[in-house]
Structure 1
């Protein structure tokens, strides 16, 4: 279940909504810890006469690869969606996006999708057409695996979009 700030009632302007994936953070943290522990176990399981054969640059390379793998897992776990009166701000891994409400056509989370998507209206102001070339962005903080909480998050984003586009 993603961490979800409870929605404000429709009658008043919604506060800022922040959604983070719980399952993704748990899995990434578990894998990162397991990877570090297995690496340490593997290193200390080597006999001393084998360990001394590794040069400093080889040791640094191994540590760099470990840091890269852990860094990728942490970056994915830090995915977040923030919705306020100006629109959506979201981070997928290391990349951030800002989408104003007038560019949001629809927030979609279908059965079998790994995460939610936001379908965007064309930047040139032309009409939205639902085809394979439609511009979209992933909302990795809304993971399908988080079940009902992800659906609640999608519904709340849809409600906020309706609220801010009708004002």
Structure 2
């Protein structure tokens, strides 16, 4: 991934927009469908049956909202990685390298403490070109603001 893209305006948020749109749309349709079916059922259905149907729709919607949560937010001081259930704030000096290799499900950040952190907010699933562009931009930001960079604008 050559870092030929200009640095984006900060703060910038990277997220899989197509995947998010699909997940939230499907979740909304499922919730509406379960609610309509629950309310349209004939009278032998008890209120608990109806509320169970609506609750199931809400549960499916909540799960799809959770799956649409990942994002990577970069600002002048560092980067915040929000995955499914975790959020981690990193200073630029902690990010040594941004990796998106062929076959990777999302970007991985090599950290100064010797570990690697998945950044699920940049994933090539439905929008490969967007993911590659975002990975290049994040790499350029890490190079510019991290341990090797002196550009603190």
What TM-score do the two structures reach when normalised by structure 1? Answer: 0.72
Please tell me whether the aligned partners of residues 70 and 83 of structure 2 are also in contact (alpha carbons under 8 angstroms): yes
| Residue in 1 that maps onto 2:140 | 159
Q: Distance in 2 between matches of 1:85 and 1:71?
A: 32
1:138 aligns with 2:133: no
1:103-126 C-alpha deviation (Å, 9 max, x unpaired): 21211112222221212221xxxx
1:49-88 C-alpha deviation (Å, 9 max, x unpaired): 432xx243x5444433322221121132232211122211
Please tell me whether the aligned partners of residues 110 and 117 of structure 2 are also in contact (alpha carbons under 8 angstroms): yes
Please tell me whether the aligned partners of residues 15 and 84 of structure 1 are also in contact (alpha carbons under 8 angstroms): yes
Structure 1 residue runs without a partner (length 5+):
1-5, 123-127, 129-134
Identify the match of residue 117 of structure 1 among 108, 111, 115. Answer: 108
Q: CA RMSD in A?
A: 2.4
Please tell me whether the aligned partners of residues 106 and 119 of structure 1 are also in contact (alpha carbons under 8 angstroms): yes
1:91 aligns with 2:82: yes
Please tell me whether the aligned partners of residues 31 and 58 of structure 2 are also in contact (alpha carbons under 8 angstroms): no
1:18 aligns with 2:26: no
Mapping for residues 37-52 of structure 1, pairs under 5 Å: 37-44=32-39, 46=41, 48-51=42-45
Moved over 6 A (4+): none
Which one has a larger percent strand, Structure 1 or Structure 2? 1
The higher radius of gyration belongs to 1
Q: Secondary structure at the match of 1:35?
A: helix
Structure 2 residue runs without a partner (length 5+):
none
